[in-house]
Amino acid sequence: RPLCIVDLGVPRNVEAEVGALENVYLFNIDDLQGVVEHHHAVRRQALEQSQQILEQKVTGFLSWWQEEVVPCVPAISSGPVAAR
């Protein structure tokens, strides 16, 4: 049956040779640091992509606002006054 050992000790508490045993998976603090760095890189890339999407959506909204809403403001603001 597989055995997973995570050695968080500094210095290490489990000999590296243990990881060579059959069905034993040994991870140490350095292995985990590599995983953390990889996930940080993935998150940075996702952040950049989300910023690009947000910029596109804001630009689209501002364009819509200028083309569709701003021209209606004078008509809306003068409407009730003209009705009096």
- Cα(75)–Cα(71) distance, integer angstroms: 8
Quick check: 1 and 24 in contact, CB under 8 A?
A: no
Give the separation between CA 53 and CA 48, rounded to whole angstroms: 9
Domain ranges of the chain: 3-78
* CA-based nearest residue to 14, from 25, 23, 22: 25
Confidence of residue 71 (pLDDT cuts 50, 70, 90): confident
78 or 37: whose pLDDT is higher? 37
For range 17-27, the mean pLDDT: 96
- Mean per-residue pLDDT for 23-32? 93
pTM to 2 decimal places: 0.54
What is the pLDDT at residue 6? Answer: 95
What's the pLDDT band for 83 if we cut at 50, 70, 90?
very low
Residue written as token pair 């890339």: 45
CB count in 10 Å sphere of residue 19: 15
Position 8 scores a pLDDT of: 93
